[in-house]
Structure 1
């Protein structure tokens, strides 16, 4: 089964999606499962993981409702307030829903770069395993050293790094990101999504060659057994079409044996998110 490990849906409104600025005006509309269904079919993919785009419990409920309606949605990465003393109570309301696979917090928008090291946040992370939930790390390279400290404390918790840690591909910055990504990969409970790369590149002028050095580093660090393909649709469309964005990784993985290729294109995602 081939799975797009990272995409979003939303019903656009200016207040809740203030991060969509005028440079991203094409994102100022609704994006629905019907839209993605056609795109998945165009590249012969079987399903996707939908990831939260708003930090609210209503977002989690809405995405779970969509998963009940569309069989290609294989799982939901939702949001709960991990810093809340009521985090266990929040999780219990979703505990019986088989589509909730993990949670995410938009850490890279927090004012404090060390947000994930707070006592409250770590208390929230500590209860995820009780619900068999994974955690998606949404970071900039500057946050990875703090992520290393977090992961060190939770060896039994499954983590996945979104968008390869968002290195500055446009300006070809590699060394700091590479150093810390390589350290992150030493933890066997950490996976990585090769997704969201085009939005860190020169949106309208990138070439596939721009990503090769970054992909080489990711695959050398994690191996094909802990890498999963994702689109970051519809955000990726500020740069290129869905097919072109997915094509970057689809072309790259052709160098691997068929067994590894199938892992990257779906099997690793299925294992990580417990998709049957």
Structure 2
């Protein structure tokens, strides 16, 4: 296993900030503040020393909130924020944020946008094509419907480092694997695309089991390889269906057939390379 274990996907938030529009009654158990002190016991138990904190609100203000936390807490190795890619000042905002030493990229909340093809709009492309020169990457919060669009984006911007969050949220609870499996295999043929082994328990639901997750996890390992796959907890969203330690254990069981080098990549090496940690 790697010397540095990295959780490549987690969140912090402060409810009073007021821009978490998705936090309705359906997520009542996690409608409270989460800060690094809340994460510390989980990191200590797993031996994880660095994390990537990812946006949870579609505002630049939330990105600045996360960067402020990163200034104070060394476990935060990288921040993935949000920028309105349709805005006239999108590139200027990216350039300003990129001056922060821990800002690593952006994540538009594509799953919440009705237009599946929104990310291919000319304004979005114009902003995204500036990102490689700024050392920034793109976290793709996808649903299965977006996978062909993500492939088109990867082809259009081959220098843009893209990582698919949560395996593109396959329909695990319903046991549906196609066309997700074929579409994500096609996307994985683009060398600038990586993927996070994260969020699978949430898609499986309260009755999740390692056996339910295994066909999906095995497929991600097969098509991306360990060198383009990275572990993420999606904590505290994870707490809606399982605790941190349960997913940490499940992820290790799901990757137990890999070589030591493969597991080292998934639990640290891939994230360190992708996010320059």
Q: Same fold (TM over 0.5)?
A: yes
Count of residue correspondences: 274
User: Is the contact between residue 98 and residue 104 of structure 2 (CA under 8 Å) also seen in structure 1?
Assistant: no
Q: Can you list the C-alpha shifts for 1:49-108, whole angstroms capped at 9, x where unaligned? A: 000011111111111111111111110001112222211211222232110011110011
Tell me, yes or no, if the aligned pair for 1:136 and 1:160 is still in contact at 8 Å: yes
Equivalent residue in structure 2 for 1:172, among 172, 175, 185: 175
Asked whether the equivalents of residues 55 and 107 of structure 2 are also in contact (C-alpha less than 8 Å), the reply is: yes
Aligned to 2:274: 272
RMSD: 1.2
Contact 1:60 1:78 in 2 (8 A): yes
CA contact (8 A) 1:228 1:268 kept: yes
8 Å Cα contact 2:19/2:58 also seen in 1 = no
Aligned to 2:124: 121
Give how far 1:111 is off: 1.5
Are 1:160 and 1:193, in contact at CA under 8 Å, matched by a contact in 2?
A: yes
CA-to-aligned-CA distance 1:229-276 (integer Å, 9 cap, x gap): 00100001000111102222122222211111111100100000011x
Output aligned runs, 1:7-18, within 5 Å. Answer: 7-13=10-16, 16-18=19-21
Q: Give the secondary-structure state (helix, strand or coil) at the position aligned to 1:46.
A: strand
TM-score (norm 2): 0.96
For residue 184 of structure 1, report the CA deviation from its aligned partner.
0.5
Structure 1: gaps spanning 5 or more residues: none
SS at 1:122 equivalent: helix
Q: Structure 1 stretch 220-229 or stretch 15-24: which is displaced more? A: 15-24
Residue 145 of structure 2 is matched in structure 1 by 142
Distance 2:39 2:79 in 1: 15
* Counterparts of residues 26-175 of structure 1 (less than 5 Å): 26-175=29-178
Further displaced range: 53-62 or 164-173? 53-62
Partner SS, residue 20 of structure 2: coil
Q: Distance in 2 between matches of 1:127 and 1:84?
A: 14
Partner of 2:22: 19
How far the C-alpha of 1:15 sits from its partner, in A, is 5.0
**Are residues 65 and 13 of structure 1, via their aligned partners in 2, closer, same or farther at CA, if it must alter by over 3 Å?**
closer
Q: CA deviation at 1:20?
A: 2.2
